[in-house]
Structure formats: structure tokens, C-alpha cells
Amino acid sequence: MQMAWFNYFGSCLLAAVLVLCLAGCAPAPIPAPEESGELVVVTRNSPTTYYLNAKSEAVGFEHDLVMQFAAAQGWKVRFVLAETLPDLFEIMKKGQAHIAAAGLSATEESRGSHRFGPTYGQVKEWVVCRPARRQPLSPADLSGLRLEVVAESSHVENLRLLKRRLPGLTWVEMNVSNSEELLERAELGLSDCAVADSDSFDIARNFHPTLVRTFALGSSQPQAWLIGPRMGLGFSRQVMRFFQESEQRGELARLRERYFGHVQRLEDADVLGVLEKRGTLLRALAPHFYKAQNETDMDWRLLAAVAYQESQWNEQAVSSTGVRGIMMLTVDTADQLGVKNRLDARESIQGGARYIISLMASLPAQIADPDRIWMALAAYNLGMGHLLDARALAVKLGRNPNAWNEMKEVLPLLSRGKYASGLRNGYARGGEALAFVENVRIYYDILSKYEKPYRGFPDAL
């Protein structure tokens, strides 16, 4: 009897210890940023949210937005990367992050179980398919096709709503962090279609140009940060005030243009050409771009993007206006740069790189990167005199001459008689300069994804 009692008591004690251990092993919720001075943000690795650039620096639309918010409050930031959306929601549920900034859609259904901040953007959810003889034009046409979707995303919610009237609608939920992987699977033929937000698809088209956007699942969805359940009302007010002020100052628009403003020109860019010529022409030219990077500290992939826009990597290119070579230099510019033979790829690339650097140095110090780079490239195409005319015109029109997203609206005006007659240097094809820069941005995105950054040294070439 005593032994049975001892066993029973021992079992209860062991169970109690296990419960206490489990409770003790669970991580405690992190302190509020007002207490710790640190804002903890869970996000996901994606071209539209957070990623590392060529210098191993964290960048991305959500990253920059978070950094601006934290700076306004005087807080440091610690990012936590979630492998999947379920992981992201679990991190928030356990109180291990203050906000989730990950391009999340704040649908009506999700607002019932999650706490969202103010809306800062709108996206459409598109069904994107690989090329086929018959493309689906509506949800009913998806019958018999393998449709993949990110697990626990807003896309699943909308598909469930559609299933109420289309019982035969089926899909496969994939435990991945973002839709880019699903788009790649569709292009490879591992699935027929995938669902992706409009901004994700716009960027992914740079890398998967054969994919076809077919139809939207529904109306546009608002994007917002997810706020932790333990965060107080004061924190929510800080978030609300930040977005209101960012909207009023134009910071939100500038940030959106920085990451998404150029992708709308994709139809005019030769994306397939870049992808096809990477393995042939670019391989032979790469050492010259490396050397130019060593000399100027400009990312060789950006220089290669400029060269492709200028000549499609043809070192013997000649235009009707007399510019020639892989970087299409004029006679005067080549003389100034010490380029003796414009048709020599090495000389042309190094000269073009030095020219871009000199144009960047000529711009006012208050222009920050990457706007500084885009304006220098506009001057590369247009001439610095015409760019200065555009800046002066921007001031007259009440625009910010230091912000590329506003200069994009001004440059096309240089060719219009109403404005051209009052310009110091007269008429200019500002629209062509705009197209030049936006195409370079697209090519640079592509090369940054597929080509490794160069880490060599001058004596290695």
C-alpha cells in the first residue's frame, strides 16, 4: 500500500515538474520597445520586403519603412526572419516580435483574428500561369490545373470564398515564405499556376518573363503591418502617426518608387535578351566590368546593365549620331576620359564607369542614393546641362529636384514646346532619358539576382 502511494505521489510530482519545465522553457514575451529601446520586427526574405544587397546590407521596402519608423521613435531595430507565414504568425502569437512587416494583406477575414495597423498600400491577387495553349480566364477554368498558393496567406482566404460557389475548385498550399518560389515552380513546369500579389509578380517578371498574368482573384487588398497582441494603444497611435506623416511628406511615395517604380516599364525592356546573353556575351566581358568596379567602386552589375541598355553588350556598336562602343561614348566624352579606342571593350567600359562617377560627383550633395545614381544615369543619356534644366523646371513646378520619383514626372516635359522654350539648353528628349534609366534599373535587378557580386582585387585581374 505504501509502495502504491509512493508511486502515485512520484508520478504526480514528475508530472508537476514536467509542466513547470515546459512553462519555464517557453520564451517569455519580449519587453515593449519603450522599455528596451529595441523594436523587434518579424519579416520574410523577399524582393518586396527584406533582402541583402551586393554589399551585404539589409534593404527592401518593408526594411526601409521599419527603419524610418524606429528612427522617428529613437529605437534600435532587430529583424527576425520567418521561414514561412505560419512561422511568422507563431512568432507574433508568442510575443517574440512587436510587429510583422512582411507585405501582409489585411483582409476582412484576417482582421477578425489579427490586429493590423493603418493601410499603406493596395495589391491585387493574380493567378499567374506558365505558357499554355489555353489560359484560364476565370476561377472556373482552373479545373484540372495544379494551382499552388502560399500556406496561411490571404490568397487561401480568397480561394475558400470562391470555393463556396465553385465546389470543384482545388489548390495546393505550399509551406514557403513568399510566392516567388511558386512562380519559379510554375515556370519550370512543376505546377500550372500560382497566386501572387501584384507587386511580387511585377518584380518576379524580371526573372520569369514567360509567365502569364491571367485574372485577379478579387478586388484590391489593403496592406498593413501586423501589431503584436500585447502592444498598447500608445504604440498603435505611434504607428498611425508615422504613416500619416510619411504620407504627407511624400516619404512613402519615394520609398515605393525606389523599389517598385521601374517595374511598370517591363514591356519596353529586353528582359529575355539579358537572360539569354548572360551566358555568352557577358561571360567574355565580365573581367572588364570587374576591373572597372575596382577602379570606381561601382557595382559591376550596374555597369553591365548600363552597357546592355546602350549596346546589348555589342562592343562594335555604332549609332547614326556617332556614338559608339559598348558604352556608346561620344568623341568629346571619350577624349575627356582618355579613351583612345571607343570600340575596345576594356577602354569603353572603364571610360563609361569613370564618366558615371564624374556625373554623380557633379550633382548637389543633398541628393541621396539611389536617387543620385538614377539622376547621374539620366545625365549620362541626356547630358548634364539638360538634367540641370530639368531640376530647375522641377523647382518652378513645385516638385522636389532631389527626388527621382518627382524628376520622373518632369523629364518628359523637356520635349514639350510649352516648357522647352524657357529652358537654358532648349529642347531635349527627356522621355528617352527616363526610359533609359528605368530599363537600366530592370536589368540591374536581373543581374543582381543571377550574377554574384565581385569581391576580387586589382592585382587578380
For residue 7, give the amino acid letter. N
pLDDT score, position 111: 86
Which DSSP helix (H) or strand (E) runs through 274?
Answer: helix 271-277
Q: Which residues contact 337 (CB under 8 A, 6 or more apart)?
A: 329, 351, 354, 355
pLDDT score, position 18: 43
From 257, 310, 315, 347, the catalytic residue:
310
pLDDT score, position 15: 46
How far apart are the C-alpha atoms of 454 and 461, rounded to whole Å? 12
pLDDT score, position 320: 67
- The dihedral over CA atoms of 293, 298, 304, 307, expressed in degrees to the nearest 10, equals -110
| Contact (CB, 8 A) for 421 and 291 | no
* pLDDT < 50 positions in the chain: 1-24, 458-461
Q: How many CA atoms lie within 13 A of 456 on its CB side?
A: 17
How far apart are the C-alpha atoms of 9 and 7, rounded to whole Å? 5
pLDDT score, position 47: 84
Going by C-alpha positions, the residue among 235, 352, 224, 346 that lies closest to residue 285 is: 346
Give the residue ranges of DSSP H helices in 126-197: 154-163, 180-187
How far apart are the C-alpha atoms of 205 and 180, rounded to whole Å? 10
Tell me the per-residue pLDDT of 135-172, one tens digit each, with 9 for 90 and over: 999 999 999 999 999 999 999 999 999 999 999 999 99
Note the maximum CA span of the chain: 108
| Contact (CB, 8 A) for 293 and 454 | yes
Omega before residue 370 within 30° of 0, cis: yes
Going by C-alpha positions, the residue among 448, 461, 459 that lies closest to residue 206 is: 448
184 is catalytic: no
For the whole model, what pTM was predicted? Answer: 0.75
Which DSSP helix (H) or strand (E) runs through 221?
Answer: strand 221-223
Which domains, and CATH codes, for the chain?
36-117+225-260 (3.40.190.10), 125-218 (3.40.190.10), 268-460 (1.10.530.10)
pLDDT score, position 203: 86
